[in-house]
Structure formats: C-alpha cells, structure tokens
Amino acid sequence: MKTITTLIGTLLMAGSVNATVLNFDDIDLNGNYDTISSVNATNYGGLNWDNSWYVGNTSVSTYQNSAHSGDQYLSNGNNVNNLSVGDDTLFDFDGAWFGTPGSGHSNVADWINVTAFDALDNIIGTTGNIAISATMSWITAGFSDVSYLNITRGGGWFTMDDFTVNSLTTSVPAPAGVAILALGLAGLRLSRKSKNA
C-alpha cells in the first residue's frame, strides 16, 4: 500500500509548479543604465519585453535602493507608461517587487497597476492601483494563463525587480487517469495477496 501511495503522490506532484524569479542581474550592461533592446535582452527569461524597458544598476544616482536583490532592476526609463511583457505561450505571474527612485529624484510614480490579458486580449486580472515608494515592496498578482501584462503607473519613474513567474514542469495527469492507475495497482496488490494466501 505504501508503494501505491508513493506512486500516486509522485504523479500528482509531477504537475507541480516551479517559480522562476527574474532578477535582471545577469544582463550585461554597457554602462549602468541601458534600454533592454540595446543590451539584446528583449527576450530575457524567455519573455518578450517591451523595447521601452530600461535595465539599471544601483550605482545610478538616486537609484541606490531600486533593486530588491542583487544590483540590477528594470525601470520605465524616460518616464514611459503602459509597458508590456508577455510570451508566445501562456504563463502564470505571481508578482514582483516595485519601488521608486530615492530622494533627490524629481519625478517619481506614486502607484503601480499590473493588468493581465489572455491570448484574445481579454482582461483576466488586475492588481488595481497600489501605492509604491522608495522602499521596494512586493505586489502580489497571482494571475494564471497570462498572454501578456500591461504595467502602468501614476506619475513618473518606477523600478521593478524579482519578477516571478510560474510554469508547469510537466503536464498534470488527468484525475481519471490517476484513479485508473490507483485501481490497477490496488488490484495488483490484492491479486498478489490472494496468491500468497
């Protein structure tokens, strides 16, 4: 019975979700602040990033606090609004860390909004407007089967780091298939018991 339980547990876990955290630290910058297209990273992490994203380093003046981990982050450089990120296949978006440049920066965003769309351009979820500050904060999304995200803000510049997506490692077995397998294994065990009796 222990073998059957272990096998069923393994099958159910085969469809478990793996989180991927994109921290942008492995993007090679030409200096300390570049467009994502100029450093050939528009397909970073297997996603399609809008050309208007900027990759920055915490050595940039007033951006010392702008990475949640490591020392690189994405920003809406040149005060761009309505930035997008998506994929040719659907993905799940857990959330990301957002903030603003620090003190001394003249124009910072006061809120962020992440909206998820499906492959037919239907809205499948939104975070609503969430206040952000110079202290990086996690914004939970929890959107499933996303084709692309649109990120907008109130005001000026914002930063984003540790962008977290989920993808299935393997296909999840259908419940009926697991049940049939369990019944077959149970029958095998009963057959073995009656043989030994």
Q: What is the CATH number of the domain that holds 105?
A: 2.60.120.1350
Q: Are strands 159-168 and 72-75 parallel, antiparallel or unpaired?
A: antiparallel
Q: Is 50 inside any structural domain?
A: yes
**How far, in Å, CA of 117 to CA of 155, rounded?**
23
Number of domains in the chain: 1
Q: Is 93 inside any structural domain?
A: yes
Whole-model pTM: value is 0.77
Q: Is 135 inside any structural domain?
A: yes
DSSP per-residue codes, 57-114: ETTSTT-TT--SSSSEEEE-GGG--SEEEEEEEEEEEEEEEEE---TT-S-BEEEEEE
Q: Which residue positions in the chain have pLDDT lower than 50? A: 2-16, 168-183, 185, 188
- 3-state DSSP assignment of residue 175: helix
Q: Which two three-digit tokens encode residue 135?
A: 């202290």
User: What CA dihedral angle connects 81, 85, 91 and 95, to 10 degrees?
Assistant: -50
Q: What is the pLDDT of residue 103?
A: 80
Q: Is 195 inside any structural domain?
A: no
Instruction: Residue 137: give the domain boundaries.
Output: 17-168
Q: What is the pLDDT of residue 196?
A: 58
Q: What is the pLDDT of residue 18?
A: 78
User: What CA dihedral angle connects 141, 143, 148 and 152, to 10 degrees?
Assistant: -30
Q: Is 128 inside any structural domain?
A: yes
